[in-house]
Structure 1
Amino acid sequence: MYFFKRNPVPMGVFRESGHLIRLLARMMIFSLHLVAGCAVAQSSPGSPVGPPPESPRLLPQFSPVVPGTALAFPHDFGAHLGFRTEWWYVTGWLEAPDKKPLGFQITFFRAATESDRANPSRFAPNQLVIAHAALSDPAIGKLLHDQKSAREGFGLAYAKEGNTDVRLDDWRMIREENGRYETTIQARDFTLRLSLIPSQPPMKQDKNGFSRKGPRPEQASYYYSEPHLQVSGTVTRHGKPSPVSGTAWLDHEWSTAYLDPDADGWDWVGANLDDGSALMAFRIRGKDGSKVWAYAGLRDASGRITLFEPEQVHFHPQRTWRSPRTDATYPVAMRIQTGATEWLLTPLQDDQELDSRQSTGAVYWEGAVTITRDGKAAGRGYFEMTGYVKPLKL
């Protein structure tokens, strides 16, 4: 589960330190505005300068999310370009030869813009691709992370239809025909080269993949997860590769209308449980702290799924951590009730805040957690909290 602002930064590929590239991108944007101004100036007097504001060429009609639509694989592993937003989101726990745990995150986002879709130019910014990567290491005590952003095109940034194949410069995630994912992330402070092998079929969330996110039926996404991915590969830091293995969770969601106008943000967890089960739970928070919506799904090792409706899902903060960078306060330890069951999330480390204001525009907490079930150790997962610095806008 993830998000980004309605207008993510539409610049060329960059890292946080890429001041020169950002400057060139701004110059390009200025040039495009200048060209557009010249085109208007050359129009003959009294003639229309373009289609009216309500024209679908200027305001593309994005596809709605509707109940009853069956997810179809492998097609739905790929991109859905007719929807406004989409993301492929991998989180997991790794273990190096020294047996010390690491958490990792790899996320690719696709955002459709409201530009003229009939524009045949290869420079037309119809789709934006954004990516985040992070590594949690308790020995460091804070999150290592990096981010990139680019408009789609020229083979350097894309999200392909038909199967998972997303790329942003030298960051890539691709799904092979046998279901295996290969990822390569060359971040500023680390490099991830990981293979992820499914051990279970996809978990279609909520109503067969139709996932409500609010009280109105259009506030929804198409959403499936791949829990219990078996991970192997290397993590490289300071030029030294280290072999790792572990388990991961993949989320893939696409939507056009996601959040209720009264929503402030959300809390979400995806957990691989030791008995082969998989838990996903979230709550959408209102601006007054109330619950706008909530849901949980628990799939046991045999494949049977138990669904929990909003009135059955409750989040109870247990302990908070205050960020020294943003001054945001996050409930990093959380108790979750799903029906009669209680789950307790405990972070691998408190500081797992990711500042993505140079790509998606948001600051959020995304971190590795252990989880207990009714007081007994149950598994590991990832916990995400958004909207604690400022309200989200999708």
Structure 2
Amino acid sequence: MIATLAALAAGRRANANDAALPVVSRDRVLQFPLDHGAHLAARIEWWYVTGWWGPMAAPTHGFQVTFFRSRTGLAADSRSAFAPRQLLFAHAALTDLRAGTHRHAERIARWNGDPAAPVAAAALDDARVHIGDWRLAREGQTWVARLEDRSQDLLLALTLRRTQPLLLQGEAGWSRKGPALAQASHYVSEPQLAVARDGGGGAWLDQEWSDEILHPEAVGWDWAGINLADGSALTVFRLRRADGSTLWAGGSWRPAGGAVRAFAPQEVTLRPGRLWTSGRTGGRYPVQWTLDTPAGRHTLHALLDAQELDARASTGTVYWEGLSELRDAQDRRIGLGYLEMTGYAGRLRL
């Protein structure tokens, strides 16, 4: 089995189904654990973990761990071990709801694409990515991560256990992100991860890779992944124009133990509510939303307004990423998860 995975990884897609297909294709059949690994031919990719510590009724902290990979298009023919064919980035953030603080740190490294590179690398046969001593990996039914930045008094040591099957977003993992078929990604989620920690908690993991997500008219996106108390999982997103209108929308609903229901663009409406303005960047973010989907009408509320990440030193972006609660029509908390908003402090560029 190990030899088979190694052979597949060496060719990255050495099978008849994949050989003639582009990196992102509606016809590609995803294979796991192979597709948890890096897809070096894709222009952008990320492994993204969000969650909280404590019971859903009274969480104490929210956390984010994201590793990004970007193909540079440089030095493709170079045999040098120092050729910067890829860039790896990592973001870590911790929100302390009791103290009302949000700390974050970031790293960046050039990578030649060798999965055995010691300083920074991503495996091709499964999810194992690291930059220095920052790491995220899948180990059987468990995801583990460790990221520390003493200058920010930030330490995340996470063990997250799978409790549900993989959720393939869109059409079996092929997810439209715009009106053109090229504006799509392969998108896989792991909702309802259990946090192995005193006091418990919950988490959500996304992996996504693409050559082109943003339509020329899109300035950013709004996204949320929510674990509900009854075991359901709700995903909503929209791509947004400069005037605030929706260019494209989507998402999914999967009840506990049930089949996933993908949302068509016309079935999803995200209406922004109360705004928060960042004193650091001037970005104005909606920290309250009304969501209308086939799963019903819900409201989404940030649990702390100031959860902006200024990542201009690594990815060159500014975005808001924070722990939020989902409320039903009776204004009861029925879920927790993360809300992400990009393009509010300047157009997002990938």
Task: Give your verdict on TM over 0.5.
Answer: yes
Q: Secondary structure at the match of 2:346?
A: coil
Aligned ranges 1:186-265 → 2 under 5 Å: 186-187=148-149, 188-233=152-197, 243=198, 245-265=200-220
Following the alignment from structure 2 to structure 1, what is the Cα–Cα distance between the partners of residues 243 and 109?
35
Aligned to 1:392: 348
Matching residue within 69, 90, 98 for 1:139: 98
- Name the larger-Rg structure: 1
Q: Deviations over 1:253-312 (max 9, x none)?
A: 000111100001000000001111001010100122211100020001123122221111
On the 8 A contact 1:276/1:300 being kept in 2, the answer is yes
- Aligned residue for 1:162, secondary structure, equals coil
Report what 1:269 is aligned to. 224
Contact 1:264-1:286 at 8 Å conserved across structures: yes
Distance in 2, Cα, partners of 1:340 & 1:209: 20
Say whether the 8 Å CA contact 2:227–2:336 is kept in structure 1. Answer: yes
TM-score by length of 1: 0.79
> Which residue number in structure 1 is paired with residue 264 of structure 2?
309
Deviating more after overlay: 338-347 vs 305-314 = 338-347
Q: Structure 2 counterpart of 1:265, which letter?
A: G
* 2:273 aligned counterpart, secondary structure: strand
Q: Distance in 2 between matches of 1:100 and 1:312?
A: 31
Point out where structure 2 has 5 or more consecutive residues left out of the alignment.
1-20
Residues 58-110 of structure 1, C-alpha deviations (whole Å, 9 max, x = no match): xxxx94422121111111111111101100000001129xx651000000001
CA distance in 2, matches of 1:212, 1:164: 24
Contact persistence 2:317–2:349 (CA under 8 A): no
Contact persistence 1:136–1:143 (CA under 8 A):
yes
Task: Give the 3 Å change call, closer, same or farther, for CA 155–195 of structure 1 in structure 2.
Answer: same
Secondary structure of residue in 1 paired with 2:266 = helix
Q: Which amino acid aligns with 2:166?
A: P
2:109 paired residue number: 150
Picking from 320, 336, 339, the partner of 1:380 is: 336
- In structure 1, what is the equivalent of residue 45 of structure 2? 86
What SS does the corresponding residue of 2:200 show, helix, strand or coil? strand
CA contact (8 A) 2:60 2:98 kept: no
SS of equivalent residue, structure 1 residue 252: strand
Q: Note closer, same or farther for the CA distance 1:377–1:345 as it changes in structure 2 (3 Å cut).
A: same
- CA gap 1:80/1:307 in 2 versus in 1, 3 angstroms: same
Give the Cα separation in 2 of the matches to 1:379 and 1:139: 19
Residue-pair matches, total: 321
Alignment of 1:1-394 (within 5 A): 63-95=22-54, 101-152=60-111, 154-176=117-139, 178-187=140-149, 188-233=152-197, 243=198, 245-339=200-294, 341-375=296-330, 376-394=332-350
Q: Normalised by the size of structure 2, how large is the TM-score? A: 0.89
CA distance in 1, matches of 2:93, 2:193: 18
| Larger relative contact order, structure 1 or 2 (CA cutoff 8 Å, min sep 6) | 1
RMSD: 1.6
Q: d(CA) in 2 for partners of 1:339 and 1:74?
A: 31
Runs of 4+ in 1 over 4 A off after TM superposition: none
Q: Does the aligned pair in 1 maintain the 2:52–2:59 contact within 8 Å?
A: no
